[in-house]
């Protein structure tokens, strides 16, 4: 079986290095992390779930899996993290994705909702442009929705006004006294 080297990529299983065609007929090495294709369900056959008393069993499977691949340092803190080092970050990202793939959605919804709600009500504009501040509010509201706590548009408007820079207080007062309260999008446009 032959392959055309100009359209295929080769990799060395022992090094995890693939070769990808680059510009000017040069071939650039691409690191292919061997952990990226590991199916967590093969090694951790149960999901961590708050409704079931299965943490110890899940923990044993997950720790064993990380041990099989030499990645215990990513979960037990025995190896100092190196956030700027891709050789640390890539396996770390794999461990995080294994964790997310073996935890039920309901296992962390409420604790995450508490943190997100605190973030949502304490956001303030500061020196941010109104668009960036509104985007932060919207992203946090979307994250709350994703964990089962949707935010009403009216709440978005009120939080927008609550955290607005004091130099925009006059516009905020006008919006707050408008009946019916404008939509979030309309309120943001009033500040633009």
Cβ atoms 182, 151 nearer than 8 A: no
99/137 same-domain check? no
User: Closest Cα partner for 63 from 80, 40, 89?
Assistant: 40
Integer Cα distance of 55 and 47 in angstroms: 9
Q: Indicate whether 115 and 83 sit together in one domain.
A: no
Residue 30: per-residue pLDDT? 58
Give the C-alpha separation, 99 to 48, whole Å: 9
Taking the model in full, what pTM does it have? 0.50
Same domain for 66 and 139, yes or no, is: no
pLDDT value of residue 5? 39
Point out the domain boundary residue: 57, 76, 107.
Answer: 107
Q: How many domains does the chain have?
A: 3
Q: What angle do CA 57, 60, 65 make, to 5 degrees?
A: 130
Same domain, 136 and 100: no
Using the 3D structure, point to which of 107, 128, 162 is the last residue of a domain: 107
pLDDT of residue 7: 38
Indicate the burial class of 125 (C-beta count within 10 angstroms; 0-12, 13-18, 19 or more).
Answer: buried
Res 17: pLDDT: 45
Residues 81 and 151 in one domain: no
| Same-domain status, 95 and 84 | yes
Statement to judge: residues 53 and 114 lie in one domain: no
136 and 157 part of one domain:
yes
Cβ distance 31 to 90 under 8 Å? yes
pLDDT at 16 (0 to 100): 46
Domain around 96? 36-107
User: Could you tell me if 127 and 103 lie in one domain?
Assistant: no
Residues in the chain predicted with pLDDT less than 70, given as ranges, are 1-26, 28-33, 106, 108
């Amino acid at each position: 079986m032959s392959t055309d080297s100009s359209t295929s990529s080769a990799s060395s299983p022992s090094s995890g290095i693939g070769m990808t065609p680059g510009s000017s007929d040069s071939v650039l090495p691409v690191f292919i992390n061997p952990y990226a294709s590991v199916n967590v369900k093969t090694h951790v056959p149960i999901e961590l779930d708050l409704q079931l008393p299965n943490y110890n069993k899940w923990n044993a499977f997950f720790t064993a899996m990380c041990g099989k691949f030499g990645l215990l340092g990513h979960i037990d803190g025995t190896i100092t993290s190196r956030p700027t080092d891709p050789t640390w970050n890539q396996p770390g990202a794999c461990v995080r994705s294994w964790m997310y793939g073996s935890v039920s959605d309901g296992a962390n919804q409420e604790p995450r909702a508490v943190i997100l709600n605190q973030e949502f009500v304490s956001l303030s504009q500061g020196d941010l442009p109104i668009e960036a501040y509104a985007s932060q509010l919207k992203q946090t509201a979307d994250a709350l929705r994703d964990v089962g706590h949707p935010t009403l548009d009216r709440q978005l408007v009120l939080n927008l006004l609550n955290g607005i820079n004091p130099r925009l207080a006059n516009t905020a007062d006008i919006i707050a006294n408008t009946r019916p309260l404008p939509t979030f999008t309309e309120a943001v446009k009033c500040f633009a």
